Amino acid sequence: MRSSNKLGGDTVRFIHAADIHLDSPLVGLAAYQDAPVETLRTATRDAFDNLVGEAIAEQVDFMVIAGDLYDGGWKDFNTGIFFVAQMGRLKAAGIPVYLLLGNHDAESEMTKRLALPDNVHRFPVGKAATFRLPELRVALHGRSFKEAATTENLALTYPDPVPGWLNIGVLHTALEGNSAHANYAPCSIAELAARGYQYWALGHVHEHRVWQEGASTIAFPGNLQGRHIRETGPRGALMVATDGAEIVSVERLHVDVLRWHALEVDVAQALDLEEAVRMAGRRLAALIEETEGDLPLIVRVRLTGATPAHGQLFGLEAQLRAEIVAQAASVSTGRLWIEKIKVETTPHDPAAQVAQRSDAVADLQAHLAQADADPEFLKSLQDDLLQLIGKLPLEVINAVPQLREIREGRLEALVRDTTPSLIAHVARAA
C-alpha cells in the first residue's frame, strides 16, 4: 500500500541512503586463498538490490541518495548500467529518486556520461536547488559536488524553507570535521538547524548517527554495506516517516548482505597456544549465537591479555590463523570467515621478574633495553633485515609501515615493540 498521503492523508515515508560505493574495489584480500572474494565483490550491488526491493515492498513515496553512489574513478560502465536498471525498477513502481553527487561521484566518469531514467532527479552543481513535490507538500533542497575536494560550507548557500511544507536538506558533508573522513563541505549541527528544515539527509560519514537539534532531525544513515574491518556491524539506510511537516520516526533499514566484526579474545588464562586457540573457538561459537539472522560474518580476531602463552604466540599469526579458521569451520556452517589474527597479548611475567633470573635471558633483556639507543647495533640490525626484505615487491614494502621504517633506518620503535615478545618467547624456551 502506498503512503496514506496518496489517498489524501498527511503521512509521507521516504528512504534516506548514502555512501553506496557501488562495486567498490577490494584491497588486500587476494593474499588469502580462502577469502570469499566473489561474495565481497558483489556485496555492494546485492545490498543496493535489497534496498530497492525494500523501497518497492514498502511503497515509499520517494528515495533520497545523499552522495557517493559510485566509487571515484572506477571506470567499469557495467556499474552504471546496474544502477540504471535499479532505477528502472523504482520507476516501474512509481517511486522517484533524488540524487546528490558526493566527492566520489565528482570523480566518476559514469556520473558525467550515463543518462538516467526520468524518475531520477539530480541536484545540480554550483548552486543549491529545490525540488518541490506539491502533492506531498515536500521540498527537497540540495547541491551536488562539482569537484571532489569541495571544502566550502555548502549549507550556508541552501535556500530558505518553504513555509508549511516538509523541508528536507540533502547534503554531503564531514559535519564539523569528522576525523575519520576527509573534511569536505564542513558545517556545524547548529548551522544546519538554523536553516529551519525539518530533516537533513546527510552523506559522507559511513557511521549511522542521528541528532535532534530543536525542530530539526539531522541524520547520517551510514554506508549501505561494510567493505572492510573499519566498517563493522549492521549497515543500511534509514526509513523516515512524517506526519505533515513533522518527523514521526527515523528507523534503521538493514540491507547489508555480510557483516564485518572485530572480536576480542582475552587469553590471559591460556597456558599455551593450543589453549588460546580453544578460547578463540569458544568466543566464535558465542558470536554465532549472539548474532541474529544468518548473514555471513567476516571476523578479525584480536588475542589480548597478559598471558603465560605470550611467548608461544609471538610471531605465529599465520599458524594461529590456520588454527582459528579450523575452529570457525567447526562452530558454524560456512557463516564465518577469519580475515586476520592480531596478537596483542603481553608477557605474563613482567620485565622485573625476568631481570631477577640472573641468567642469559635476563642478560638479553638488559641488552635489548639499551639497544634502541645503540647506533652500531641498529645499523647491524638494519643490514641483516635488508637482506630479508630486499627480495620483497616494492608494493608490499610500501604497504607495511615497519618494512618502510627498516629501509629508512628507523628501527628504534621496532626494537622497543618486539623486545617484550622476544624475551617471553626465549624465556619460555630456556
- At which of 237, 254, 271 does a domain end? 254
Rounded to 5 degrees, φ, ψ at 235 are -135, 155
Reduced 3-state DSSP string for 301-342: EEEEEEECCHHHHCCCHHHHHHHHHHHHHHHCCCCEEEEEEE
The CA distance from 412 to 281, in Å, is: 36
For the chain, the helix, strand and coil percentages under 3-state DSSP, each to the nearest 5: 40, 25, 40
Helix H or strand E encompassing 113: helix 109-113
Instruction: Give the closest residue to 348 by CA, choosing from 301, 312, 320.
Output: 312
For residue 116, what is the domain's CATH number? Answer: 3.60.21.10
Distance, in Å, from the CA atom of 109 to the CA atom of 78, rounded to the nearest integer, reads 12
Query: In the chain, how many domains are there?
Result: 3
* Domain C-terminal end among 205, 235, 254: 254
Query: Are residues 412 and 266 located together in one domain of the fold?
Result: no
Tell me, yes or no, whether 425 and 367 share the same domain.
yes
Alpha-helical runs (H) found in 1-67: 37-41, 43-58
One domain, residues 244 and 292: no
C-alpha span between 128 and 34 (Å, rounded):
48
Both 156 and 203 in one domain: the answer is: yes
218 and 286 share one domain: no
CB atoms within 10 A of CB 155: 23
User: 167 CB contacts (<8 Å, ≥6 apart)?
Assistant: 138, 139, 141, 161, 196, 197, 198, 199, 245
Query: Which range marks the domain in which residue 314 is found?
Result: 259-348
Say whether both 399 and 301 belong to one domain.
no
Give the end of a domain, one of 222, 254, 286.
254
240: nearest Cα among 173, 315, 168: 168
Contact 121, 99 (CB under 8 A): yes
Q: How do strand 129-133 and strand 138-142 relate by DSSP bridges?
A: antiparallel
Q: Three cell numbers at 105?
A: 561521484
**β pairing state of 216-220 and 209-213:** antiparallel
User: Looking at residue 144, what DSSP letter applies?
Assistant: B
Strand bridging mode 138-142 / 166-172: parallel
155: amino acid identity, one letter: A
Do 224 and 237 contact (CB within 8 A), yes or no?
yes
pLDDT in tens, the chain (430 residues): 334 444 345 789 999 999 998 888 665 565 566 777 778 888 999 999 999 999 999 999 999 999 888 876 656 678 888 999 999 999 999 999 999 998 656 554 555 567 889 999 999 988 999 999 999 999 999 999 776 566 778 888 999 999 999 999 999 998 875 545 557 777 899 999 999 999 999 999 999 999 999 999 999 999 999 988 899 999 999 999 999 999 999 999 999 999 999 999 999 999 899 999 999 999 999 999 998 888 999 999 999 999 988 888 877 888 899 999 999 999 987 889 999 899 999 887 655 555 555 555 445 546 656 666 768 877 787 777 677 777 767 765 666 666 677 777 786 776 666 666 555 555 555 5
Q: Clarify whether residues 8 and 131 are in a common domain.
A: yes
Cα 96 versus chain centre, distance: 28
C-alpha span between 185 and 143 (Å, rounded): 11
Nearest to 174 by CA among 66, 13, 12, 22: 66
CA 222/CA 17 separation, integer angstroms:
8
Q: Do residues 209 and 297 share a domain?
A: no
Residue of 42, 191, 11, 184 whose CA lies nearest to 106? 184
Q: CB–CB of 141/130 below 8 Å?
A: yes
Do 299 and 379 sit in the same domain of this protein? no
Same domain, 71 and 175: yes
> Whole-prediction pTM value?
0.79
- Both 263 and 334 in one domain: the answer is yes
Please check whether residues 263 and 237 belong to one and the same domain. Answer: no
| Helical axes 360-371 vs 412-429, angle rounded to 10° | 170
Distance CA 156, CA 142 (A): 11
How far, in Å, CA of 48 to CA of 80, rounded?
Answer: 13
Distance of alpha carbon 124 from alpha carbon 205, whole angstroms:
21
